[in-house]
C-alpha cells in the first residue's frame, strides 16, 4: 500500500464529527478501495471540550484552521465550517495556495466564489471537490459531471431544501398554516431560529447555481437566479392543487431556452403523477432531463450528519485514489458566460388564485383581461370559504371569494400585466397568488 492520505478537518459540527467517525469506521474498506491509508490527523474547531463521539486526544488540534491548512502534516483539507466568507473562505484559499486538494460541503462559498476558487485549484494542479454541497447524500454532482458526460442536458430541477419540503408536506397533509409548520420544524431542528435562508429560497438558489454550471457549461451566476420562497403559500393553495391533480413543491429549476439559461427558485405545482411529487418530508430529489437517458430522478437524504458525511467521504476516497475532475466539468477558462433570461420572459402554465368581490360580471372581467394579453385559460374555478358559504349561502352579499385560474402556456410578463389590469379594475380584494406549473 502506498503512503497515507492525511486529512485535516476544519469544522467539527454535526457533519464534521460524522466524517471523522465514518473514516475511522470504514478505514479498512477505504484502504482497500483506494490503495491508501486514509486517516484524520488534524482538526480545527471552536470548542475542544465538546463530546463529538470520538477522542480528539490523538489528533493535532489547531485553534486556527488556516494554520492547519498550511501544516506540512496535512495532505488534504476538508472544509466543513460553512458560510461564504470568513474562516471558511480563508481556509480553502490557504489550502489551495499551499497546493493541497480541498473537499467541502459549502454551497454558499461555491455559489459566490466558485470561479475564483476553481481557478486557484487549477493553477495549483489540485482538486476542489464538493459532492456534499448539493442535495446532501445524493450523488448529483458525479451524475452530472461524470455519469452523464455523453448527454446534452436540457433541464435540471429539484427539491433541494428539506426544511421547505417538510413544511409543505405538513401543510398539505394536515391543512396547517405555514407559520404553524415552521414552528414545528424549528422545534424538531429542521429549521434554524432564523429560517429566512431556507424558507425564502436562498439555500436552494445557491445549490441551483452550482448545478446550472455543471449542466450547461456556464460560469456560476448566483445573482442571476430568480428567487421566491414558500412563506406566501396558503392551505387553500394546497387544497386547490390536490383538487386539480397537482402538488406544491419548492423547486430550483435550470432550463436551456432559445434566449439563454433560465435559473429560478419558486413554489411550483407539479403533477401528482410525477416522480418528484412523491418526495415528501425532509427528503430531496433532483431530476435531470438529458437527450440520451431521458429523465433521470435521484432521490435521497438532502441533509443530516451521516448522509452529508457520506458524500464528503466519497470525495475524499476519489482524491486518495487519484481520481480528479475539473471543478465544474471543464477548465474555468472554457466556461461560457451565463446568458440570463429575465423572469418576465419565462413561459409556462400558471395557477392564479384571485380573491375577488362576489358580484355579477367579476369572472367575465377577469377573463376579458386575460384574453387581452392572449392568455388562454385551461380552467376557472370559483370557491367560497366555509365561513362565507355558511353566512351567505346564495352568494349575494358581495363578500370576497377565491377565483382560481389555470392557464395554458403564457409568458410571465403577460400574466403580470393582466393581473395589474385586473387590480386596476377594482376587482380584487387582496393581492393575487401566483404559482408556476412545471409539467413533465
The pLDDT of residue 385 is 55
The pLDDT of residue 389 is 46
The pLDDT of residue 23 is 96
pLDDT in tens, the chain (440 residues): 468 999 999 999 989 999 999 999 999 999 999 999 999 999 999 887 787 888 888 899 999 999 999 999 999 999 999 999 999 999 999 999 999 999 999 999 999 999 999 999 999 999 999 999 999 889 999 999 999 999 999 999 999 999 999 999 999 999 999 999 999 999 988 888 999 999 999 999 999 999 999 999 999 999 999 999 999 999 999 999 999 999 999 999 999 998 899 999 999 999 999 999 999 999 999 999 999 999 999 999 988 889 999 999 999 999 999 998 999 999 999 999 988 899 999 999 999 999 998 888 898 999 999 999 999 999 888 876 554 444 454 455 568 999 999 999 999 999 999 999 999 999 999 999 999 999 86
Encode 390-433 in three state secondary structure.
Answer: HHCCCCCCCCEEEEEEEECCEEHHHHHHHHHHHHHCCCECCCCE
Q: Which residues contact 428 (CB under 8 A, 6 or more apart)?
A: 354, 355, 356, 357, 422
Cα–Cα–Cα angle for 408, 409, 411, nearest 5°? 130
- Residue given cell 490503495 in the structure block: 35
Cell matching residue 170: 405538513
The pLDDT of residue 396 is 54
Cβ(422)–Cβ(362) under 8 Å? no
The pLDDT of residue 36 is 95
Query: In angstroms, rounded to a whole number, what is the distance separating the alpha carbons of residues 384 and 401?
Result: 5
Cβ(108)–Cβ(84) under 8 Å? yes
Tell me which residues are annotated as active site: 207
Q: Which residues contact 208 (CB under 8 A, 6 or more apart)?
A: 156, 160, 225, 252, 253, 254, 263, 265
Cα–Cα–Cα angle for 35, 129, 53, nearest 5°? 70
The pLDDT of residue 52 is 80
Instruction: Return the closest-CA partner of residue 157 out of 246, 250, 229.
Output: 250
| Virtual torsion, Cα 12, 14, 16, 17, nearest 10 deg | 80
Q: Model's pTM, two decimal places?
A: 0.91
Q: Which residues contact 105 (CB under 8 A, 6 or more apart)?
A: 15, 79, 80, 82, 130, 132, 133, 308, 311, 312
- Residue given cell 475539473 in the structure block: 326
HSE-CB at 351 with a 13 A cutoff on CA atoms is 27
Cβ(346)–Cβ(264) under 8 Å? yes
Cβ(154)–Cβ(258) under 8 Å? no
Amino acid at each position: 500500500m502506498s503512503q497515507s492520505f492525511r486529512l485535516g478537518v476544519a469544522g467539527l459540527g454535526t457533519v464534521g464529527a460524522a466524517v471523522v467517525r465514518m473514516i475511522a469506521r470504514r478505514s479498512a474498506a477505504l484502504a482497500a478501495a483506494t490503495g491508501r491509508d486514509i486517516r484524520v490527523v488534524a482538526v480545527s474547531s471552536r470548542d475542544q471540550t465538546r463530546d463529538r463521539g470520538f477522542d480528539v486526544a490523538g489528533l493535532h488540534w489547531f485553534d486556527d484552521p488556516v494554520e492547519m491548512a498550511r501544516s506540512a502534516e496535512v495532505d488534504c483539507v476538508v472544509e466543513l465550517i460553512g458560510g461564504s466568507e470568513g474562516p471558511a473562505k480563508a481556509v480553502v484559499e490557504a489550502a489551495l495556495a499551499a497546493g493541497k486538494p480541498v473537499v467541502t460541503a459549502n454551497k454558499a462559498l461555491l455559489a459566490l466564489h466558485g470561479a475564483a476558487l476553481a481557478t486557484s485549484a487549477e493553477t495549483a494542479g489540485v482538486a476542489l471537490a464538493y459532492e456534499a454541497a448539493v442535495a446532501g447524500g445524493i450523488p448529483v454532482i458525479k451524475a452530472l459531471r461524470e455519469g452523464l458526460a455523453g448527454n446534452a442536458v436540457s433541464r435540471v430541477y429539484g427539491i433541494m431544501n428539506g426544511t421547505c419540503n417538510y413544511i409543505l408536506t405538513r401543510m398539505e397533509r394536515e391543512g396547517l398554516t405555514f407559520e404553524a409548520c415552521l414552528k414545528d420544524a424549528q422545534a424538531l431542528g429542521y429549521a434554524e431560529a432564523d429560517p429566512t435562508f431556507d424558507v425564502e429560497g436562498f439555500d436552494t438558489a445557491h445549490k441551483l447555481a452550482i448545478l446550472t454550471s455543471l449542466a450547461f457549461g456556464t460560469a456560476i451566476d448566483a445573482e442571476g437566479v430568480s428567487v421566491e420562497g414558500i412563506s406566501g403559500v396558503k392551505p387553500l393553495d394546497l387544497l386547490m392543487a390536490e383538487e386539480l391533480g397537482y402538488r406544491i413543491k419548492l423547486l430550483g429549476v435550470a432550463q436551456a431556452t432559445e434566449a439563454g439559461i433560465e435559473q429560478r427558485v419558486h413554489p411550483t405545482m407539479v403533477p401528482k403523477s410525477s416522480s418528484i411529487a412523491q418526495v415528501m418530508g425532509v427528503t430531496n430529489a433532483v431530476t435531470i432531463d438529458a437527450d440520451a437517458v431521458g429523465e433521470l430522478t435521484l432521490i435521497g437524504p438532502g441533509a443530516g450528519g451521516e448522509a452529508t458525511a457520506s458524500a464528503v467521504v466519497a470525495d475524499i476516497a476519489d482524491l486518495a485514489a487519484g481520481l480528479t475532475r475539473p471543478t465544474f466539468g471543464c477548465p474555468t477558462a472554457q466556461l461560457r458566460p451565463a446568458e440570463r433570461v429575465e423572469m418576465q420572459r419565462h413561459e409556462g402554465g400558471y395557477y392564479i388564485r384571485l380573491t375577488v368581490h362576489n358580484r355579477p360580471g367579476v369572472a367575465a372581467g377577469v377573463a376579458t383581461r386575460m384574453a387581452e394579453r392572449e392568455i388562454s385559460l385551461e380552467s376557472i374555478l370559483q370557491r367560497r370559504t366555509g365561513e362565507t358559504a355558511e353566512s351567505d349561502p346564495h352568494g349575494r352579499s358581495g363578500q370576497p371569494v377565491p377565483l382560481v385560474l389555470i392557464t395554458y402556456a403564457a409568458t410571465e410578463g403577460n400574466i403580470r400585466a393582466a393581473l395589474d389590469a385586473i387590480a386596476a379594475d377594482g376587482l380584487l380584494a387582496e393581492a393575487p397568488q401566483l404559482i408556476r406549473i412545471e409539467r413533465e
